[in-house]
Chain A
Amino acid sequence: MKPDIDQVERRVKGYWFQDGFGEMAGGLVFLVLGSYFALSEYLGDSFWGGLLQAAFILVFFALMFVGRRLVAALKSRFVYPRTGFVEYRVDEDTRHRRKILAGLVGALMAAMFTLVLKATDIEDLTPALTGLVGGAILVFAGTKSSGVARFFVLALISIALGVALSFIPLAMGYALGMYYGLMALAFFISGAVVLSRYLRKSPRPRNS
């Protein structure tokens, strides 16, 4: 036994990702984002388009809330009886720091997109930028979650998709809709493969 606490910590952190439910929930969020961008483009400045934009933030936060509940319920049903339950330590300071960081990253991304679009007047770059930012976030998530290798693959897919979609002559809303839709598919596939491998490797103990 090597008393390396960092290694133990990495293993325990990686445990949250070993069933694929998190990725499938992420796929659901991407699917909604993709539908939003495509529908916004389709509806344009009409009454329904305005309504969709107004309601989107509410729908998005509701989805995040439901997604978290759903993942918890699925883990409770399939994961805890097989490989056990872990509650991760998140102190209040870290929670606040994360919220502030998420807000700052969001604001920075919005500002960056606006500036680039205004300065260059080329909307075509938006999918590429989205892919790059998405890729960077996935690399960060992969590093934080003890180097779960599939996050790096998803990051590459994000960048490749973003760049490829920039070369296809599509309206920005459709291009973004396609990016998020295809990323949702990648997340669902990745999650499903991981889940099936997990279920095969970890049968339910007989006495549970």
Chain B
Amino acid sequence: MNKNLRTLTGLDRVIHEPARLMLVMILATVESADFLFLQRETGLTKGNLSAHLTKLESAGYVKIEKMFKGKYPLTLCKLTPAGIKALDGYRHQLDKALKSRGRG
């Protein structure tokens, strides 16, 4: 098997899960976003979203903070430097593996 293709087995499984990949990709484009925004953008249920965010938080990829914006309570999620690095690494690995397709 091609060496580059073999890197697929080493993909970061925390990010590789589609819902979490979607969350990380959204958070990579902003400074921070709140729970409601992420829920609407991803279409996940509250429970599902909460579970995925907890996994990302446990991996150190997302920081979750509860705060107020005026009178409105926010659960703010922010990608950490480790999360940004993990996403970059994931994209790099995936690119490498996909580019090697057909090269044998």
A contacts, CB < 8 Å to B: 1, 3, 5, 8-9, 11-13, 15, 73, 76-77, 80-81, 83-90, 205
> What are 14 contact pairs spanning A and B, CB under 8 A?
A5-B28, A8-B25, A11-B41, A12-B29, A12-B33, A12-B41, A76-B71, A80-B34, A80-B74, A83-B36, A84-B34, A87-B30, A87-B32, A88-B31
The 3 closest A-B pairs by CB, nearest first: A84-B37, A84-B36, A76-B70
| Bound: A9/B70 CA distance, A | 26
* Nearest chain B CB to A87 CB, angstrom units: 4
Residue among A1, A13, A76, A84 with the highest chain B CB neighbour number at 10 A: A84
- The CA-CA distance from A84 to B69 in the complex, in Å, is 11
B64 interfacial by beta-carbon distance below 8 Å: no
Q: Interface residues of A: mostly helix, strand, loop or mixed?
A: helix
Given contacts A5-B25, A85-B69, A86-B33, 8 further A-B contacts (CB under 8 A): A8-B29, A77-B70, A83-B36, A83-B40, A84-B33, A84-B40, A87-B31, A90-B31
Task: List, in ascending order, chain B residues with CB within 8 A of A12's CB.
Answer: 26, 29-30, 33, 41
Q: Which partner residue on chain B sits nearest A73 by CB separation?
A: B70
A9 to B27, CA, bound (A): 9
Check: B21 CB closer than 8 A to any chain A CB: yes
